[in-house]
Structure 1
Amino acid sequence: MQSVSGSALPNSHQALLKNQHLLSGSLAILGVTSAQLLLELPCGGLAMSEHAGVFAALKRHESWNACFGYDDPALAENRYDSIVVFLPKARAELEMRIALARSLASDNARLILIGEKKEGIGGGAKQLKAVAPQASKVDSARHCQVWSAESIEPAPVFQIQDWLGWSRVECSGVSIEVAGLPGIFSQDGLDKGTQMLLDTLAEQPVEAERMLDFACGAGVIGAWIQAWSVARETAVVSVDGIDVQSQAVICAKETYTRNNAVGTIFASDGLAGIEGLWPGIVSNPPFHTGVKTDTSMTEQFLRGVRGHLQPGGELRLVANSFLPYEALIKRHIGRVERLREDGRFTVYRAFREL
């Protein structure tokens, strides 16, 4: 098998390869961000990613048991001698990920935590030592730290429902209950961009009998649209949702169930894996990957959204005003107008030309 260039891998994955001597027995890796890592490891095992695109790539490696997120049924099976935890973006998510790791551990298992210094591995190490005081730093490599805890104490079966929380958000006199998990964008309440988007939807609703919420997060937009229609005693439209992250998909389904909303929630890395046409598409897309500004997902979405928007259908999108989306919307969909802007956010509306 041809070796993958180390430079093609994230720093944390390179740091693991440098410390393969720490791995023994059956192996589980949590938080994989590049499936190329598996090509460099001689053994199989369990590999979990929260990213739908990475998960799809993991599934192509037959000697590995690929898992999508924290509620994959395969995570309840087997016991592992070595569990690698890659540092997630959110501190609260690391606590959840370590709990999952401990639920997968065999007796006398080793837990290995790896993360970049600039992304907070120092604080992550403190979280690890809170449950495994014997943990120690074993290496600094590729701008990362590698921590190891031998003979970690196994934990009870991991249940994602134990980490689920609820909050109430309100806009234009209509409130809904929203599910939250560590690492979810909407967990800290309704953000200003979504608030502005919902305000425009209340004032100028999208005229569509069926809609799609791209990058739906915890399902706020779709659930609110339907709750607003119920409150106004107008026809309720189904709103499908799509997101790339496992926690978002879990939360969106829970939010829809709690608020009696109707629609299908898809896990997909963009629109490429989704079939269908919608007369209305709404979105508050993210523009960060970790700590870096990254508009590539939204730019890809805007290039491909025409193929999923019915002729004459409307796209309604909110974004930070400094992002270069207006020209892309005009180029790929049609004439674009700004429904509202406040210097920080802008709500765009465009209709697909016939």
Structure 2
Amino acid sequence: MQSLSGSGLPNSHQALLRNRNLLSGRVALLGVASAHLLSELPFSGLALSEHAGVFHALERHENWQACFGYDAPALADSSYDSVVVFLPKARAELEMRLALARSLAAENARMILIGEKKEGIAGAIKQLKAVAPQASKIDSARHCQVWRAEAIDPVPGFRVQDWLGWNRIECSGIAIDVAGLPGIFSQNGLDDGTRMLLETLAEQPVCGDRLLDFACGAGVIGAWIQAHQSAEGKPVASVDGVDVQSQAVICARETYRRNRAEGTIFASDGLSGIDGLWSGIISNPPFHTGVKTDTSMTEQFLQDVKRHLQPGGELRLVANSFLPYEALIKRYIGRVERLREDKRFTVYRAFRGQ
């Protein structure tokens, strides 16, 4: 066991460095949260992240094969001797990640599971032992546990499509089918914030023939807008979508396909990775990183949004009422009004000046 290094890394990554002697042969890392980890490892191999920003940072490490999410073309069956699984936030996603790990594993491969106590590593052990009964804890460090399973049973043929589920949602008389994957926001139904946002869009539509849904998730907003416009006999706008998470991008594309919606779904960490002008931008942005409130993504979005809005274009945004977005919208875009609010949510809109 080696001493801790990489002190600027997430705890789980530091715990891996402490146990880097466990890695041998061809190495696969699943769920990388910081690309700086690769600089600390004297190996090459595969590094997967579901976060678009982390993925692009991984790409800069030429000795590693960077992968974005569970449908990356480079995920080759039976290719790796050491497979590291970092614990995801959602328990259901761990089951999918373990299935991917088993498909990547070569004969007699070693699997390593690492996660923090506060993230639920204790409960995750049951899931690990369901597929690797021989797994045992080998270290505790940086509030993490490190578990190892030798000679795991490979199960090739992982397909993310096998994990897709469908849910039918309805709002203001319009129903659409929505794709879901483990780990995606609001997988099991229409959340109350998005419902309030859609109701305002039914009453006071955002005008334009090309719109953008920022932090689009499973593509609910874009598919619903187009279905509503079609039902009303109005011209149907193209609604592009952007999200940072690979599962969201996969699901949004599937939702669009099922509902015959038009628009491009981009994978990007904020708006910095995309070009274009839209006549309207709509969003129900996230405000959590894990269990912590984190509004930094939305603040950056509000700083960037003006250069992606056409003159006179509208921003429509729903957020928890306690979040300080009204002042930020006013600062970066201009005069802002509240279209609807209750104790939990507020729908804001603002227009870019000419």
Taking structure 2 as the reference length, the TM-score comes to: 0.98
Whether the 8 Å contact between 2:216 and 2:241 is mirrored in structure 1 is yes
Gaps of at least 5 residues in structure 1 are none
Q: Distance in 2 between matches of 1:222 and 1:296?
A: 24
What percentage of aligned pairs have identical amino acids? 78
Taking structure 1 as the reference length, the TM-score comes to: 0.98
Runs of 4+ in 1 over 4 A off after TM superposition: none
The equivalences for 1:1-354 within 5 A come to: 6-76=6-76, 79-354=79-354
The DSSP-based 3-state class of the residue aligned with 1:334 is coil
AA in 2 matched with 1:353: G
Task: State the Cα deviation string for residues 70-118 of structure 1 (Å, max 9, x = none).
Answer: 0001002551000000000000000000000000001110000000000
Whether the 8 Å contact between 2:11 and 2:143 is mirrored in structure 1 is yes
Whether the 8 Å contact between 1:76 and 1:158 is mirrored in structure 2 is no
Whether the 8 Å contact between 2:78 and 2:156 is mirrored in structure 1 is no
Q: Distance in 2 between matches of 1:353 and 1:329?
A: 13
1:125, distance to aligned residue in structure 2 (A): 1.0
Q: Distance in 2 between matches of 1:300 and 1:145?
A: 34
Q: CA RMSD in A?
A: 1.0
Gaps of at least 5 residues in structure 2 are none
The DSSP-based 3-state class of the residue aligned with 1:177 is strand
Task: State the Cα deviation string for residues 101-159 of structure 1 (Å, max 9, x = none).
Answer: 00000111000000000010001111000111000000000000000000000002110
Aligned residues: 351
Q: Distance in 2 between matches of 1:76 and 1:23?
A: 19
Whether the 8 Å contact between 2:171 and 2:199 is mirrored in structure 1 is yes
Task: State the Cα deviation string for residues 36-63 of structure 1 (Å, max 9, x = none).
Answer: 0000000100000000000000000000
Q: Distance in 2 between matches of 1:158 and 1:289?
A: 28
Whether the 8 Å contact between 2:320 and 2:346 is mirrored in structure 1 is yes
1:291, distance to aligned residue in structure 2 (A): 0.8
The DSSP-based 3-state class of the residue aligned with 2:7 is helix
Whether the 8 Å contact between 1:79 and 1:104 is mirrored in structure 2 is yes
Q: Distance in 2 between matches of 1:246 and 1:5?
A: 29
The DSSP-based 3-state class of the residue aligned with 1:74 is coil
Q: Distance in 2 between matches of 1:307 and 1:7?
A: 37
Q: Distance in 2 between matches of 1:31 and 1:16?
A: 13
AA in 1 matched with 2:297: M
Whether the 8 Å contact between 1:337 and 1:349 is mirrored in structure 2 is yes
